Amino acid sequence: MKRYPLRHSRYLTAFCLLVVAFSLTVWGGDLEAKVTLESTSLEEIIVLGGEDSRIRAVMDVQERHTDDLMAEPGVVGTATGLTDAGNPAILVFAESFHAAQAAIIPARIEGVPVVVRITGKIRPLGNGLPIGTQRADPTSRFRRPVPIGVSTGHPNITAGTIGCRVTDGSGVYALSNNHIYADENRASIGDNVLQPGPVDGGIDPDDAIGTLSDFEPIVFSTFANNVIDAAIALSSPTLLKNSTPFGGYGTPKSEPIAASVGLRVMKYGRTTSKTRGWVDAINAVVNVQYGSGVARFVDQIVIRPGFFSSGGDSGSLIVVLRGVNARRPVGLLFAGSLEVTIANPIDAVLERFGVTIDGD
């Protein structure tokens, strides 16, 4: 048989390039989706809540398979979200592209599409580092009473954010995270909390705005079912306001609202001030890498884009961006990565402490 090695090699090369291109499209689909999502207009995002039957069905499948998915090395979480086409899907969060390739992650589970997202490791966002010689407003020492959304912390940490003012009907409290006010379970009830946080120049006891009143202990285990990373500090109206500084979103509403996939949200925090984003996923199960160890959290809210928050924004209150529900609280920011922000459902936080948001 007559051979045509050169011609055949050209065809083979073209075929290989086609296969490689297809492979990159499949594996790179998440990266392309990230770019598409982060450049999408907030008005174009589909909103689907947990009451939607399609979302509820996917949540059920996700919950049945989360343990197996998170047993794969490099997988740090799962959630219920949407595909690029707007169809409900299981999201799988991976530390890296390499980890996603190495993990056994099916394209569909019980008929539900699976989307892999590269998030990096998820960490608490309480590491508020100095912002340089020209400090942004949220890191400054504020005249008393101080606004919400600004630098705060236990004397033994760096800095986080005052989420909001809450009340039990008699006293008022500053709400933030356990790792901001209770130093990852290490603090004692009655310890001072400062404004600003120590890394921003806060001095104990001169800059105290309250004392640690209660916190939900964090269980450091990958088999735990933590729901909130939260703490409250007893304060007073003479030390703490219930609104953000000028340029923020103002005073939050008192009545919370459940997160929905696609819901437009905003926050005001110590490091990145006022930012806008959207709920990318709900019912998330994530492993969070604290200084004290890894803690698994369930029933969490995932928010994008990546620049929605940064280190030092932990404790920020997340509220609805606009519309009839504008400024209604959705979540308490506590962790994230370069790609996502993770928040506790605010209703779980308020129920734990028996308080309501002291707002409009």
pLDDT of 40 reads 45
Domain ranges of the chain: 8-120, 122-360
pLDDT of 126 reads 86
pLDDT band at 50 (very low <50, low <70, confident <90, very high): low
Residue entry with tokens 């306001």: 241
Mean pLDDT, the chain, as a whole number?
88
Q: Residues 253-287: pLDDT tens digits?
A: 999 999 999 999 999 999 999 999 999 999 999 99
Q: Give CA–CA dist 87/272, Å, rounded.
A: 32
- The model's pTM is 0.85
User: Is 122-360 a CATH 2.40.10.10 domain?
Assistant: yes
Query: Based on C-alpha coordinates, what's the Rg of the chain?
Result: 22
3-state helix vs strand vs coil in the chain, percent to 5? 25, 35, 45
Q: Residues 9-26: pLDDT tens digits?
A: 443 344 443 333 333 333
**Apex 280 CA angle, 266 and 41, nearest 5:** 65
CB 250 within 8 A of CB 243: yes
Number of Cβ atoms within 10 Å of the Cβ of 167: 16
In 249-328 the beta strands, taken as DSSP E runs, fall at 260-261, 264-269, 273-290, 293-304, 317-320
pLDDT of 316 reads 98
